[in-house]
């Protein structure tokens, strides 16, 4: 039976080194995917993913085990990715965060379905790649956390340090933007 994150941490703190490597195995791909999608640099995403595990290793003793380990590790990854984006001045991250906190307009409601034929198109992956590059990282992160990592809005709120309603609003806006980018093509 697969051990939970909390159980692995418990075992690691009791001296079982292999438990930490189980955590590494469990989270390497999700974290890499998350970071690479945010910073658009697959090579540097490797460095940042490593740095996440180094930070986890350094701080695991002070980690509050009442909290979710997954949201904790993703918040570390997210902070590192944002720092990197800020350093490279690729974006003004705060601008979009403030902008997306505005009340959600129902005109952006995602009632419109994409054409069925889109699903059969082999270049959908490439289209998604292009669309993801066009939408803002603040939207990318929320889509990734909800759709790929299957986090609840509450968990995403913990990662991003935002209230759940803000997250819900931002998620719907993010999907609308993604759909818009895909529709344009």
Partner 1 sequence: MSRKYTELVARLVKIEPRAGFEIEIHETLVALKVRTARVHTMLFGGGALLGLGVSVTVGVHLHQFFAQSGFYQYLVLIFSGDGVVYALWRQLLLALIDSVPVVTAALFIASIMFLLWTSMQTVVSVRKLSLASV
Which residues in this chain contact partner 1 in the complex, by CB under 8 A?
17, 20-21, 24-25, 28-29, 32-33, 36-37, 42, 45-46, 49-50, 53-54, 57, 110, 113-114, 119, 124-125, 128, 132, 143-144, 147-148, 175, 178-179
The nearer residue to partner 1, 144 or 156, going by C-beta atoms, is 144
Residue pair 34/149 in contact (Cβ under 8 Å)? The answer is: yes
The three-state secondary structure class of 41 is coil
Q: How far is the CB of 87 from partner 1 (least distance, A)?
A: 21
Rank residues 33 and 75 by Cβ distance to partner 1 and give the closer one: 33
3-state secondary structure of 20: helix
Nearer to partner 1, 95 or 185 (CB): 185
Taking the complex as a whole, the smallest distance from the CB of residue 128 to partner 1 amounts, in Å, to 5
Instruction: Give the nearest distance from C-beta 38 to partner 1 in angstroms.
Output: 11
Closest separation between CB of residue 105 and partner 1, Å?
16
Q: Is the CB of residue 8 less than 8 Å from the CB of residue 16?
A: no
Helix (H) / strand (E) element for 67: namely: none
DSSP, res 137:
H
3-state DSSP of 78-108 = HHHHHHHHHHCCCCCHHHHHHHHCCCCCHHH
């Amino acid at each position: 039976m697969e051990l939970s994150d909390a159980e692995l941490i418990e075992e690691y703190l009791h001296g079982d080194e292999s438990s930490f490597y189980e955590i590494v195995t469990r989270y390497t791909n999700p974290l890499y995917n998350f970071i690479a999608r945010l910073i658009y640099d697959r090579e540097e995403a490797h460095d940042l993913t490593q740095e996440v595990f180094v930070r986890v290793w350094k701080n695991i003793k002070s980690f509050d085990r009442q909290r979710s380990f997954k949201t904790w590790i993703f918040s570390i990854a997210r902070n590192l990715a944002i720092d990197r984006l800020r350093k490279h001045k690729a974006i003004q991250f705060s601008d979009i965060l403030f902008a997306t906190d505005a009340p959600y307009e129902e005109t952006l409601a995602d009632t419109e379905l994409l054409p069925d034929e889109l699903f059969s198109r082999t270049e959908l992956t490439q289209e998604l790649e292009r669309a993801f590059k066009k939408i803002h990282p603040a939207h990318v992160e929320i889509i990734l956390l909800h759709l790929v990592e299957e986090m609840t809005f509450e968990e995403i709120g913990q990662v991003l340090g935002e209230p759940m309603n803000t997250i819900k609003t931002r998620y719907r806006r993010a999907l609308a933007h993604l759909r818009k980018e895909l529709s344009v093509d």
